Amino acid sequence: MNLKAGTDSTYLATINFPPSSLQHGDVVEYRIVAVDNSVAQNQRSDPSSSTYYTLNVVALAPTQTSYSNDFNAPSSDFFGNAFSIATPSGFSNGAIHSTHPYTDGSGSNDESNYVYQLRIPIQLQSQDAFITFEEIVLVEPGVTGSVFGDGDFGIM
Ligand SMILES: [Ca+2]
């Protein structure tokens, strides 16, 4: 690892995998182990010595001229974090769901960013190209016992 210019303790490294050595569905696990130059050769691992960071290898699928999915069956067409194709209790068929409810944001400003990306490129028509979808969002749960029209009724 090399010291990042303009910093005193940020180190960078690039891992180059030979072309075609990774395929869709592969998982790369890694751990960073640092050993200092002291006589004791102090050592630390991140994550700890019993676990690894994981990278899921995702490849794009062949380009299509259209795509549709009712999410009523398992699908590997999408990848991302915090979403899945599921049929939770109270739903009559499958759809893309976040966790219910969202977990509290863990990033800056207590925000988290979730992505669920279609891995099939779509070649658009030059005219009359469209995308349609149905979305249900519960932004904030209401207070128990409140009814539609009350100020503390949930926003959907
Ligand atoms: Ca559905």
**74 Cα distance to chain centroid:** 17
Distance of CA 145 from the midpoint of ligand 1 (Å): 30
pTM: 0.67
Distance of CA 73 from the midpoint of ligand 1 (Å): 8
Task: Give 10-residue mean pLDDT values along the chain (156 residues).
Answer: 94 88 92 93 92 93 96 93 91 91 81 92 94 82 83 68
What's residue 116's pLDDT? 94
Contact present, 131 and 124 (Cβ < 8 Å): no
- The Cα–Cα gap between 121 and 67 comes to 9
Distance of CA 138 from the midpoint of ligand 1 (Å): 18
The C-alpha angle with vertex 131 and arms to 130 and 135, in degrees rounded to 5, equals 150
What's residue 154's pLDDT? 64
Distance of CA 71 from the midpoint of ligand 1 (Å): 5
- The Cα–Cα gap between 110 and 62 comes to 37
